[in-house]
């Protein structure tokens, strides 16, 4: 068996960064409540939504877009709580286009644990940049995904671009 050294996964395995329920245990809510945006990989606070880097990315630039409201079902969100994250996805796809120049995206929302939601209590959309050929021999034959940029480096790039474009003026927290 081949092994891939991925120390960033240790936190997920050892500390159980998989909340059992409630806003108090939710890493998205915890990130919003704390002042350490960089440490929580919280890149952008909007009035009704937030943008996080995925701590366990499927690809470079993998983002999580979440309403600030801790809700598990679409029907529990009001119109603004639902509309702003979708608008945020549109804006962030444009930013990622400029930063990473992907060939496409996977954008999705997993509703419930059986649908693949790792955090079923707080809705969030995944935005995963994709490149032609990014499913090369490594994941197919070696069952290994190569991520070419560290989370801290990409966080700094993304926040810098959001600041440069004047997008992070709303909200708070520390960058």
Position 102 pLDDT exceeds 60 = yes
- Give how far the C-alpha of residue 42 lies from the chain's centroid of Cα atoms, to the nearest Å: 9
CB 109 within 8 A of CB 64: no
Position 8 pLDDT exceeds 90 = no
Position 12 pLDDT exceeds 60 = no
Question: Is 54 labelled as part of a ligand binding site?
Answer: yes
What proportion of the chain, given as a percentage, has pLDDT over 90? 55
The dihedral region occupied by 112, where left means phi > 0, alpha psi between -120 and 50, and beta the remainder, is left
Q: Dump pLDDT digits (tens) for 81-100.
A: 999 999 999 999 999 999 99
- Which has the minimum average pLDDT: 2-6, 130-134, 170-174? 170-174
DSSP string, 48-100: SEEEEE-SS-SSTT-EEEEESS--SSGGGS-HHHHHHHHHHHHHHHHHHHHHH
For the chain, how big is the Rg over CA atoms in Å?
16
Q: Dump pLDDT digits (tens) for 35-58.
A: 899 999 999 999 999 999 998 888
Cα separations (Å) of 79 from 25, 83, 133? 26, 6, 38
Position 7 pLDDT exceeds 70 = no
Q: Please indicate, yes or no, whether the overall pTM of this predicted structure exceeds 0.85.
A: no
Residue 172 to residue 79: CA distance in whole angstroms: 23
Please say if 124 is a catalytic residue: yes
Residue 112 to residue 120: CA distance in whole angstroms: 5
Q: Between 134 and 173, name the one with better pLDDT.
A: 134
Question: Is 40 labelled as part of a ligand binding site?
Answer: no
What proportion of the chain, given as a percentage, has pLDDT over 70? 74
Q: Of 3, 62, 70, 124, which residue is the catalytic one?
A: 124
Q: Does domain 22-166 have CATH number 3.20.20.70?
A: no
């Amino acid at each position: 068996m081949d092994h891939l050294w991925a120390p960033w996964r240790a936190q997920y395995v050892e500390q159980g960064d998989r909340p059992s329920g409630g806003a108090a245990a939710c890493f998205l809510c915890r990130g919003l409540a704390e002042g350490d945006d960089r440490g929580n990989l919280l890149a952008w606070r909007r009035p009704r939504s937030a943008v996080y880097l995925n701590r366990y990315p499927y690809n470079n630039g993998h983002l999580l877009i979440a309403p600030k409201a801790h809700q598990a079902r679409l029907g529990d969100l009001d119109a603004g709580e639902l509309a702003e994250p979708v608008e945020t996805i549109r804006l962030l796809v444009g930013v990622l286009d400029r930063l990473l120049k992907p060939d496409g995206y996977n954008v999705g929302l997993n509703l419930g644990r059986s649908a693949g939601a790792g955090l079923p209590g707080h809705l969030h959309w995944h935005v995963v940049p994709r490149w032609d050929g990014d499913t090369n021999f490594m994941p197919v034959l070696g069952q290994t995904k190569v991520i070419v940029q560290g989370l801290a480096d990409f966080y700094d790039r993304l926040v810098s671009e959001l600041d440069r474009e004047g997008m992070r003026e709303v909200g708070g927290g520390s960058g």
